[in-house]
Structures are given as C-alpha cells and as structure tokens.
Amino acid sequence: MTLESRDLLRRQIIEGTLRPRERLIAADLADKLQVSRTPVREALYLLASEGLVVPTKRGFAVREFTHSEIIEIYEVRAALEGMAARLAAERGGGKAIEAVLEVEAGTVTLAKSARQVLVDKNTLFHRAIFAAAGNERLGRLNGQHTEHFFNYRIADLYTDEEAAASIEGHRQIEAALRKRDGDAAEKAARDHILEALSVTLRKLR
C-alpha cells in the first residue's frame, strides 16, 4: 500500500495535479486516497528521498525546483541520455533498436498533435533507448532525473515550431541508431536534451 500511495502521489506531482509548494498533509491525503495515514506518511518520506517533496513544520510540501536546479537536472540528463544512445547504437540488439524505431517519435506530424501525445511518445522513445543500452544502473540513474513536473507543464506550452524541433531531435537519434554510429547517437541525444533545456528556461521566465 505504501508503494501504491507513493506511485500515485508521484504521478500527481509529475503531472502537475499537485502543484509546487502545495502543502501535503498525510491525514488529508489519506482521506482523498481512501487509505490509512500510515502508508501515506511512509509514501511522503519516500518521495522526500527522491527530492520531489520537502519537509515543512506541518507535514510536507511539493518541491519547487529553482532555475539552477533545473539546469543541473537537464545537464545530468544530457550526459546520461548521450551515453545511453551511444551504448544502444554500439551494442543494442536488433529487436531492441527496432523497438526504439517503432515508437515513431520522429514522425513529423506529431508537431500538430495534442501535447500529451508528444509527451507520451517522448517518454516511450527515451525508455526504449535505455532498454536498448542494456545498462540497468544507467537507467536507474536517469530515472531520478527524467520525470519532473516542469516536463509536463512545459510540454503544454510548446509551440508547433518547438515541437517540430524536438521531433527533429528524435529523427537525428533514430538515424544514428540505424547506422549504428555511437558518436552521432551520443551527440544527437545530448543536443536534443540541451535543446529541451533551452525551451524550458524560456517558458519558465
């Protein structure tokens, strides 16, 4: 029950249902989730260990990431995603690479789709790359930096041009994976994440 509560609260934080600086009182959350207070309190401590909530005088609050923290998160992601793309290109199995391509995250028409579709495709695409990389430790590290509330919040604010640029980044990664070019795959993945950082910083001004 603790992990179920953690996963539900984590999803609500990431998707923005629970907003930055919003107070999280165990008793209130337990009533909403229709569970006892103990698993909710334990879930909040787990989320605190992930850096998604912070303790307050009375309970917890959803963490609001600073400008510099967001930059750090994306810089770490760029390094991890770049290495994952390199490993996928150089040693990923044929089926694993095909699984990346089957997501079709580089489809140009996605730029006109609902932003949630773009977010979902992006998530599946990057998860498939880490799966193809075949390094579980790398995947776990990336999991700590990939999903944050601002990813969903910013996606809603993407213009069609910005969405098209993100999709083009996916296309560059796909092309490098098809060629089994580790250097190109790493560069394309890093450039893609740093471009996302640029967009995020513009939207959060």
Mean pLDDT along residues 45-58: 89
- What confidence score (pLDDT) does residue 147 get? 66
Q: 189 with 67: CB under 8 angstroms?
A: no
Residue 188 pLDDT: 98
Dihedral through CA 193, CA 125, CA 84, CA 188, nearest 10? -50
d(CA 184, CA 168): 14
Distance, in Å, from the CA atom of 190 to the CA atom of 79, rounded to the nearest integer, reads: 7
pLDDT given at position 17: 83
Is the pLDDT reported for residue 115 higher than 90? no
What's the whole-number average pLDDT of the chain? 90
Q: Angle, nearest 10°, between helix axes 160-179 and 67-91?
A: 30
Predicted confidence at residue 2, as pLDDT, reads 76
From 45-54, 86-95, 167-176, the region with the lowest mean pLDDT:
45-54
For the CA atoms of the chain, what is the radius of gyration? 18
CB 128 within 8 A of CB 103: yes
Residue 148: what pLDDT? 67
Task: Please name each of the domains of the chain with its CATH number.
Answer: 2-62 (1.10.10.10), 67-203 (1.20.120.530)
pLDDT at 1 over 70: no
The top-scoring range by mean pLDDT among 29-33, 93-97, 112-116 is: 93-97
More confident residue, 19 or 44: 44
Check whether 59 has a pLDDT greater than 80. Answer: yes
Q: Which DSSP helix (H) or strand (E) runs through 55? A: strand 53-56
Report pLDDT for 149: 58
Q: pLDDT-derived band of residue 79, with 50, 70 and 90 as boundaries? A: very high
Q: What is the rounded (10 degree) CA torsion for 89, 90, 96, 98?
A: 50
What are 24's strand-pairing partners?
60
